[in-house]
Homo-oligomer: A and B are copies of this chain.
C-alpha cells in the first residue's frame, strides 16, 4: 500500500487567490450596478442617492479590502515580515476610512429623511463590526508595530488577533447580507417574490459575498498556506525586543 501519497506544497493556492479576487471584485461591481442602475445612482446631497454610497463603501471597504488586508499574509508569505505587516495595516486603515465614509452617508441620509438610527439588526451588527474593527486596528498597532507589549504578550495575543480578524470579516459579510435583505424589502417588497431582475441581482450579490467569505476563510485557515516560521526573523524580533527593553542583545 503506497500510503500516504506525497502532496505538493500550497496546492491550488494561486487559483484560489485568483478566484477570491474575481468574486470579491464582482461583488463590488454588482453593488455599484445595483445602486447605479436600479436605485438612481450616487450623490452627496442627503438624498437616497447619498444612501447609495453606503452599500458600495461597506462592500468595498469592510468586505473586499478587509479580506485582502488579511490575505497579504498568505500571498506575500515569503517576503520580509515587516513590509507585509505595513501593507496589512495600511490596507486595513484604507478599509476603515472607506467604511467611515459609508457610515456618514447612511447617518446623513437618515437625518435628512428623519428616519431613526440603530433600530435594525443590520445596524446593530454593522455598528458592532465597525467598532470592533477600529479597536482591532489600534490593538494591532500597539501590539505588533509599536514596542508596547512584551514578547510573550504579543505571542499570546497573535492567535486572538487572527481569530478576531476572521470573525470581523464574517460579521461584515453577514451584515452586508442583512443590508441586502433590508433594502430589497423596503423598496421592492410587492415584486420581490416575482423574481424581478433587481431582486435576483441583489440575491446574486449576496451569494458572491458568501463565496468571497468562504474562499477567504479557507485561504486563511489552511495550514499549508500559512507563513512558514523564519528563525532569522524570530531572532531579529527578540533582538529588537531586548534592545527596546534596554538590555544587551546577548542576554538570553
Majority SS at the chain A contact face: helix
- Residues in B whose Cβ lies below 8 Å from that of A125: 177, 206-207, 210
A203 CB within 8 Å of chain B: yes
Q: In the bound complex, what is the Cα–Cα distance between A199 and B121 (angstroms)?
A: 9
- Residues in B whose Cβ lies below 8 Å from that of A3: 150-152
- Residues in B whose Cβ lies below 8 Å from that of A78: none
Could you list some 29 contacts between A and B, CB below 8 A? A1-B242, A1-B251, A1-B252, A3-B152, A4-B151, A4-B152, A4-B155, A115-B193, A119-B195, A119-B199, A120-B193, A120-B203, A121-B177, A121-B184, A122-B181, A124-B203, A124-B206, A124-B207, A125-B206, A159-B223, A163-B217, A167-B214, A167-B217, A171-B210, A174-B174, A174-B177, A181-B181, A181-B185, A185-B186
A: which residues have CB within 8 A of B? 1, 3-5, 7, 115-116, 119-122, 124-125, 150-152, 155-156, 159, 163, 166-167, 170-171, 173-174, 177-178, 180-182, 184-186, 189, 192-195, 199, 202-203, 206-207, 210, 214, 217-218, 221-223, 242, 245, 247, 251-252
